[in-house]
Amino acid sequence: MLVGKFMSSPVISATPETTIREAAEYMRAHNVGALPVLRPQRAVGILTDRDIVLRALAAPGCALGPGTPVGDIMSREILTCFADQEVVAAAAVMGERRVRRLLVIDRSGGPVGVLSVCDIAEHVSEEVAGQAMGEISEKRARDVRG
């Protein structure tokens, strides 16, 4: 089963200059928890709802407002998979890297979709999604306990 068949598409994205408020409005309007941040069809980062909360709203001494560009708070490490890759391999990356979403790219590196654990559970296999979520949760719990 290939990622391209089960990914969410088209890509709902932001630019580094998109404001935090605009990004939050995109997320709400499209019911997504993450936006790839693109600079002419190339990913330069990813912004999650968690990034907004932890880096813009709850950071100690934070003075960032809703007009702050997302380029200031986005995650710069972008985890990807290919549209023609097996879903099970993508789910393994999610578990290993503790992420719930991967940006899906074509072989030329252009973004074509997003694959989430929810996409896998809903369309592919609850077992595969459960394994990935188990790894994500287990490693996060271990990190919290120290």
Region 50-76 average pLDDT: 85
Domains plus CATH for the chain? 3-145 (3.10.580.10)
Comparing C-alpha atoms, which of 125, 85, 123 is closest to residue 103?
85
Number of Cβ within 10 Å of residue 14's Cβ equals 23
Note the pTM of the prediction, 2 decimals: 0.82
Q: DSSP secondary-structure letter at 133?
A: H
Q: Which pLDDT value is given to residue 117? A: 87
Tell me the three state secondary structure of residue 91: helix
pLDDT of residue 13: 95
CA gyration radius, the chain = 15
Q: How many CB atoms lie within 10 A of CB 95?
A: 20
Calculate mean pLDDT across residues 25-45. 93
Residue 73: per-residue pLDDT? 93
Distance CA 21, CA 8 (A): 23
- pLDDT the model gives residue 135: 73
If 0-12 CB within 10 Å is exposed, 13-18 middle and 19+ buried, where does residue 121 land? middle
Express each pLDDT in 81-125 by its tens digit.
999 999 999 999 998 898 889 999 999 999 999 998 888 888 766
Write the DSSP symbol of residue 108: T
How far CA 81 is from CA of 63, 114, 120, 127, in Å, comes to 35, 9, 14, 20
Residue 32: pLDDT band with limits 50, 70, 90: very high
